[in-house]
Amino acid sequence: MDLDALRHQIEGFLRQLAEEEYLQQAGLKSESQGAVIYRQHQHLFHPTRLDELRAAMGEGGGTTGPRLLLEFLTHACLEAKVQDVTDRFLSEEATAFVSGEERMIPLRGAEVAIRDEADRARRSRLEQARAQAIDRLNPLLRERLTRLQEAVTRLGGVSYPALWEELSGIHLDDLEKLIHTLLARTQEMYADVLKWMLKRTLGVPLSEAKRHDLARLFRAPEYDRLLPPQGVTAAVETAAQKMRIDPKAAGRIQIDAEERQAKTSRAFVAPIEVPKRVILVVRPGGGWGDASAYLHELGHALHFANTDPALPVEFRRLGDASATEAFAFLLEGLLLESGFVRRVLGIPRERDFLRVVALHKLYLLRRYAAELIYERGLYDGRSPAQAAEAYRSLVSRATAAEFPPALYLYDVDPAFYVARYLRAWILEAQLREQLYERFDEECYRNDRTGPFLLDLWRQGLAPTLQSLAAQHSLGPLQIDPLIRSVARHLA
């Protein structure tokens, strides 16, 4: 098998797919046509291609690189079987609307409207309308899930989770042990601070909290005037330059901050051509939530745009996404640095701000921990009603707020990406403590920090989390630094 030819074909497929996903998710087109791209490249996804790659690996085709190619092609083979359903879902999501009090709101903008609504009764009605709109899309998501499981069986897999573990080399049992520890050790701290903050800010008792209440609580509109979009961008660019990092990567990073009706409310990065063309997509609005999303996605963009172009495609685009998420969390984590918040962003009385950010991070950690537990059971043949109830129960208990069961499929990212997030948070906390040791707690002002990060980014996705930890003498993944990262602001 000619691995170089295969890499070239994969590169072309990824470039087309990333461009399509950018146009659709950024609201530049409503109809998703990913299935067309999959059909154009269907020679890549034939099961015989997987057999050929396994044979090449057995004949000395290397280890890590070919393994990543096999992992990618296997998942692509599965996705090709369901891409028509994925396209239908994305197209319907892009054109779906939610009924507001006085206007129709695009479904993709409904979460923003919920966060912005101060009146609890109106917010509750918006939440209900959004859940109903999502529930109308659930048959498509259920069809996608069923056909994905069938495709796994045709490939000879026992189950989707088992196949994912085999391909990724990540053991979900080990990760689940860590997150059970996280849930147990943060339960009292989380409930105490959330109870106080909900009552103080919204006048809502913890026993009556709903998901939409947390969305409003973490919106924290009192910081909007201090964090206008342009101001945050300028402040972050100045800080990056002090660390000797070019925030635009010599023009390789483009920012799409245009307001569009069908644009997803979730910021994302489209790595069209790594490292030459990387698009950072945000929905403008201001406030600390947008600042957090911008920093996170800038971390991804800087990583991709500074990846060594000489690396083969699997090390530029196909490795363990836990690594790029860890780098994104490193930049997002600047919002938990007292000096950065006060000196760079100019927020007075930063202690209150840090408490909001830390509680939100703990909320996400606990929610994603519950979602991993839930997703591990999602493929075991449960009925839709059983799966919806399992989602509602697990996530509501972890977050101390009632979640709509209609989100039970809408809230699931493909390919156990929730596991990548959790591993990334754990590694990022360990890596941050080492940054403190090397460059002190105000590493964002140290001109040696940038070269250190650039060296990390140049490796692309070649290192696994374990090899990154070994490179920097971090030891095995451990939960203590992660808990410390939030507890210091919630005490």
The per-residue DSSP string of 412-456 comes to PPSTTHHHHHHHHHHHHHHHHHHHHHHH-TTGGG-TTHHHHHHHH
Q: What is the pLDDT of residue 106?
A: 94
On the question of pLDDT at 189 being above 90, the answer is: yes
Answer whether 329's CB lies under 8 Å from 299's CB: yes
Dump pLDDT digits (tens) for 399-434. 999 999 999 999 999 899 999 999 999 999 999 998
Helices and strands (H, E) in the chain, number of each type? 20, 5
What pLDDT does residue 250 have? Answer: 96
pLDDT of residue 157: 85
pLDDT at 285 over 80: no
Give the model confidence (pLDDT) of 294-312 as tens digits.
999 999 999 999 999 999 9
Output the pLDDT for position 232.
Answer: 86
Q: Give the C-alpha distances (Å, rounded to integers) separating 285 from 6, 221, 250, 300.
A: 43, 11, 26, 21
Phi, psi at residue 120, to the nearest 5°?
Answer: -65, -40
Give the model's pLDDT for residue 444: 84
Is the pLDDT at 93 greater than 80, yes or no?
A: yes
- Comparing 470 with 207, the larger pLDDT belongs to 207
pLDDT at residue 61 greater than cutoff 70:
no
Q: What per-residue confidence (pLDDT) applies to 59?
A: 60
Q: Give yes or no for residue 60 having a pLDDT over 90.
A: no
Q: Which one of 52-56, 106-110, 393-397, 472-476 scores highest in mean pLDDT?
A: 393-397
384 by Cβ neighbours in 10 Å (0-12 / 13-18 / 19+) ranks as middle
- Is pLDDT of 243 > 60? yes
Q: Which amino acid is at 359?
A: L
CATH number for the domain running over 172-490: 1.10.1370.30
62 falls in which pLDDT band (50, 70, 90)? Answer: low
Q: Return the higher-pLDDT residue of 199 and 446.
A: 199
Res 8 pLDDT > 80: yes
Highest mean pLDDT out of 316-330, 333-347, 359-373, 447-461: 359-373
The answer for residues whose C-beta is within 8 angstroms of residue 419's C-beta and 6 or more apart is 170, 172, 175, 322, 372
| pLDDT tens for each residue of 439-466 | 877 888 889 999 999 999 999 999 888 8
Reply yes or no on whether the pLDDT at 472 is more than 90: no
Distance of CA 423 to the CA centre of its chain: 12
Q: How far apart are CA 426 and CA 449, in angstroms?
A: 20
Distance CA 453, CA 456 (A): 5
Picking from 139, 211, 77, the residue whose alpha carbon sits closest to that of residue 410 is: 139
What are the sequence ranges of the domains in the chain? Answer: 3-168, 172-490
pLDDT single digits (tens) 168-186: 999 999 999 999 999 999 9
**280: which strand partners?**
255, 269
Instruction: Give percent above pLDDT 70 in the chain.
Output: 99
First to last CA, the chain: 58
Average pLDDT, the chain: 92
Q: What is the mean pLDDT of residues 43-54?
A: 83
